Amino acid sequence: MSGPSDYQPSNPALQWIERRLPILGLVHSSFVVYPTPRNLNYWWTFGAILSFMLGMQILTGVILAMHYTPHADLAFKSVELLVRDVNYGWLLRNMHACGASMFFFAVYVHMLRGLYYGSYKEPREVLWILGVIIYLLMMATGFMGYVLPWGQMSFWGATVITNLFSAIPYVGESIVTLLWGGYSVGNPTLNRFFSLHYLLPFLIAGVVVLHVWALHVAGQNNPDGVEPKTEKDTVPFTPHATIKDGFGVACFLLLYAWFIFYMPNYLGDADNFIPANPGVTPPHIVPEWYYLPFYAILRSIPNKLAGVIGMFSAIIILCFLPWLDAAKTKSSKYRPLAKQFFWIFVAVCILLGYLGAQPPEGIYVIAGRVLTVCYFAYFLIVLPLLSRIETPRPVPNSISEAILAKSSKAVASIAVALVAAGALFVGTLQDARAEEGGPKPPGNSWSFAGPFGKYDRGALQRGLKVYKEVCSNCHSLSFIAFRNLGDDGGPGYSVAQVAAFASDYKIKDGPNDQGDMFERPGRAADYFPSPFPNEQAARAANGGAAPPDLSLITKARSYGRGFPLFLVDFFSQYQEQGPDYVAAVLQGFEDKVPEGVTIPEGSYYNKFFPGHAIKMPKPLSDGQVTYDDGSPATVAQYAKDVTTFLMWTAEPHMEARKRLGFQVFIFLIIFAGLMYFTKKKVWADSH
């Protein structure tokens, strides 16, 4: 993108186009012959990874939008049904939802890389500021995207974040009304967020073009921070950088696929599987992990307006970085003090992220204040001061000289950086749910756990029987149709069995030609009917507590795993908090209330229920349901079977997900290996 290209295509048709629109020359000069410093390390592949992720998010997002209904009453349901009924809908949703997290993970690595190697310094100030703008747009897009599924955390996250703007004096309230389109977060809010969530990624793509343009004018920075001087310092972009980026993307895909296929809900919040309810606030409103450090800054400042200003300035301050850090030496490799402070800063960010997920009380508040001061001190005191007092180590004269002097120390620093980046990623995932006291649900050996987990067909069929004979008296199962009972990976009934099962139910239909509603036997396409006509009726019949719908209950309930178990879970693929909790509650009833615990009238004592006072009476007792296959008719067996069944209702495509995941992993490992050896071959003469 620098100056007219002398590229001449050999094909006459392309020559004809090139004379009128030199687009091939543009591509050729920007992505083929473009000189790239030959000492770039793998941290420089994150630019390509980010471009890839942006494309991925736009592609999956456009397809998801074809199946999504932006209406307060229908949004939650449309997301659930697209996961269940659309071909590979579960894959699209996982790719998009985990993709957002991966996008932010990559952008944080990319930003920290820029910070470490001084990529914001002259002549790259505009390039850096464009990057900060992209980051701000990403935050807005991510936030609005999180609102769209219209679960509890979506709704309350939207309420908390839009209320931030009410802190602005004089115009704050009007801004909030404009965001809401009403008197509170509601349907108009959802509609405008959907529209903006569709628009902003294309704005991001536009700014990315400017970002790349600015990059190709100023040239890439490099780990040694010395500008390329001779041709010996650079290699052509293609094939050198393209193949290296390709290998970087392939490795990144391995991490991405780990989430998509094996840990899709690890980064999410169980509360978001509960439909939005303006009348009930979740006990802890926690943003997505990538906002947590800024959320911690917001909360640690006791004044509302000052908190909001603090949070936004934590991001805006990045724009001024090129002038706050006046040191001539770019790379922290040659700045012994700056290097140490950089790692302290990374630790501060990780800890702020951790605090952002904790309840705002006691020691957490004080720690949050200290770390907020540290965060700003890094930019406002440490960096300006260092550029005056630090004596940098001598910088090599040229890139080729730096390569010759390359020591093995770099490998160690990369390893440290990798570990730190990994910790930044998982360190912020701590579940904020308060420990409500009482024992944690005991673990179970579920047949569906692990990378090759499958549902036990017998358990699914027995669980369906328990649901039908016991649970369905109070609990609905509204996202499940009778036809699902015959689906692959489900209880495995035949078409005839499903039809017979459905015809036992009376389904309300109509109106008929006379205008009356009538009842008819169920068909395979009908959904399980609800025991109560509406939520109010359910509430009135059950002592004020409406029995929740069970379709998603095993994903909508969870419990805090605590440090360090949640780190282990990432590697062991433990995803069964929900089923463990449900099975524990079903077996946790005790007639004798322990001393010192008072249970209100009309409630029952349950060991595992948060707060211990549950409105549901003990639902299961030995011998209550007769099993045809000789399984023991005990509460433990019932609980296990019905929980397995409810896990299937929450994740009907789990078997397909894990099966495809295995195939994808085999492919990706081979692909990454091939990319690696190709890369080695291409770079063989360049080192």
168 binds other proteins, rule: CB under 8 A: no
432 binds other proteins, rule: CB under 8 A: no
629 binds other proteins, rule: CB under 8 A: no
560 binds other proteins, rule: CB under 8 A: no
- Candidate residues 304, 454, 508, 681; the one interacting with other proteins per rule CB under 8 A: 304
Q: How far is the CB of 362 from other proteins (least distance, A)?
A: 10
d(CA 286, CA 151): 13
Q: Tell me which residue of 272, 257, 266, 260 sits closest to 91, measured CA to CA.
A: 260
Phi-psi region of 596 (alpha: psi -120 to 50; beta: other; left: phi over 0): left
Report DSSP letters for 234-270, one per residue.
EEEIIIIIHHHHHHHHHHHHHHHHIIIII-TTSSS-G
184 binds other proteins, rule: CB under 8 A: yes
192 binds other proteins, rule: CB under 8 A: yes
Q: How far is the CB of 305 from other proteins (least distance, A)?
A: 8
Q: How far is the CB of 356 from other proteins (least distance, A)?
A: 12
* Amino acid at residue number 572: S
Q: How far is the CB of 307 from other proteins (least distance, A)?
A: 8
- Candidate residues 15, 303, 536, 572; the one interacting with other proteins per rule CB under 8 A: 303
Q: What angle do CA 335, 340, 344 make, to 5 degrees?
A: 145
d(CA 402, CA 330): 14
181 binds other proteins, rule: CB under 8 A: yes
Q: How far is the CB of 582 from other proteins (least distance, A)?
A: 23
Q: How far is the CB of 368 from other proteins (least distance, A)?
A: 12
* Amino acid at residue number 543: G
Binders in 348-387 for other proteins, by CB under 8 A: 359-361
Q: Taking contact as CB under 8 A, which single stretch among the options 45-53, 298-306, 502-510, 538-546 is the one that binds other proteins?
A: 298-306
Report DSSP letters for 504-557, one per residue.
TSEEEE---TTS--EEEE--TTSBPPPSSSSHHHHHHHTTT-PPPPSTTHHHH-
Binders in 473-512 for other proteins, by CB under 8 A: none
200 binds other proteins, rule: CB under 8 A: no
Q: Tell me which residue of 51, 17, 12 sits closest to 31, measured CA to CA.
A: 51
- Candidate residues 3, 4, 169, 279; the one interacting with other proteins per rule CB under 8 A: 279
Question: Which residues are CB-neighbours of 378 under 8 A, at least 6 positions away?
Answer: 341, 344, 345, 348
573 binds other proteins, rule: CB under 8 A: no
- Which residue bears the tokens 């592949």? 45
152 binds other proteins, rule: CB under 8 A: no
Q: How far is residue 241 from each of residues 47, 209, 647, measured CA to CA in Å? A: 11, 18, 45
d(CA 217, CA 196): 31
- Which residue bears the tokens 């990529």? 119
Q: How far is the CB of 178 from other proteins (least distance, A)?
A: 5
Q: Which is nearer to other proteins, 113 or 299 (CB)?
A: 299
- Candidate residues 302, 439, 596, 630; the one interacting with other proteins per rule CB under 8 A: 302
Q: How far is the CB of 304 from other proteins (least distance, A)?
A: 5
178 binds other proteins, rule: CB under 8 A: yes
Q: Which is nearer to other proteins, 245 or 431 (CB)?
A: 431
182 binds other proteins, rule: CB under 8 A: yes
Q: How far is the CB of 448 from other proteins (least distance, A)?
A: 33
186 binds other proteins, rule: CB under 8 A: yes
Question: Which residues are CB-neighbours of 557 under 8 A, at least 6 positions away?
Answer: 270, 577, 578, 581, 582
Q: How far is the CB of 276 from other proteins (least distance, A)?
A: 12
Burial 136-171, CB ≥16 within 10 A → b, else e: bbbbbbbbbbbbbbbbbbbbbbbbbbbbbbbeeeee
163 binds other proteins, rule: CB under 8 A: yes
- Candidate residues 164, 260, 263, 620; the one interacting with other proteins per rule CB under 8 A: 164
d(CA 223, CA 248): 17
Question: Which residues are CB-neighbours of 573 under 8 A, at least 6 positions away?
Answer: 262, 263, 449, 450, 451
| Residues within the interface to other proteins (CB under 8 A) | 156, 159-160, 162-164, 177-178, 180-186, 188, 192, 278-281, 283-285, 299, 302-304, 307, 359-361
